[in-house]
Amino acid sequence: MSEVLELTPYELLGGDAVLRQLVDRFYDIMASDPRAAAIHAMHAPDSSLIREKFFDFLSGWLGGPQRFIEKYGHPRLRARHMPFAIGEAERDQWLLCMYQAMAQTPMSDELREHLEQAFYKTADFMVNK
């Protein structure tokens, strides 16, 4: 009887190369889509640091290397986002960018659906106003 190895979302996505593509598309969309202007304004003009932090976070969040924790400790997502007024509109702008980025990143329909649900739950948890 052979064992079935369960792959993590990180592995199903394709590891670092595809994750980097997803993160870059996400921030490129945020910077260029006028519908995301409010959340884009919450970010520094130079997005290189936040891109790297988000890449590190998603790596671990998706079951890959725990880069964010190694560099910065526990993510404490809600606490780290408290300085920003995040309502349903901001949540929805963030999700708009992420869903578009996922649509432009190669992945299975099953993984896309799983990630859409997981990202929605996480983004909804960030709402603080």
- The pLDDT mean for the chain works out to 94
Domain borders along the chain are 9-125
Separation between Cα atoms, residue 28 and residue 44, nearest integer Å:
13
Enumerate residues 6+ apart whose C-beta is below 8 A from 115: 9, 102, 107
pLDDT band at 6; cut points 50, 70, 90: confident
Provide mean pLDDT across the span 7-31: 97
Q: Is 60 helix (H, G, I), strand (E, B) or coil?
A: helix
Class for the domain spanning 9-125: mainly alpha
- Mean predicted confidence (pLDDT) in 29-40: 97
Q: Among 25-29, 34-38, 75-79, where is mean pLDDT lowest?
A: 75-79
Closest of 96, 92, 91 to residue 77, by C-alpha: 91
Q: Residue 60: pLDDT above 70? A: yes
Q: Does residue 5 register a pLDDT over 70?
A: no
The pTM of the full predicted model, rounded to 2 decimals, is 0.92
pLDDT digits (tens, 9 = 90+) for 109-129: 999 999 999 999 999 999 999
pLDDT the model gives residue 1:
43
Pair 50, 44: CB distance under 8 Å = yes
**pLDDT bucket at 92, cuts 50 / 70 / 90:** very high
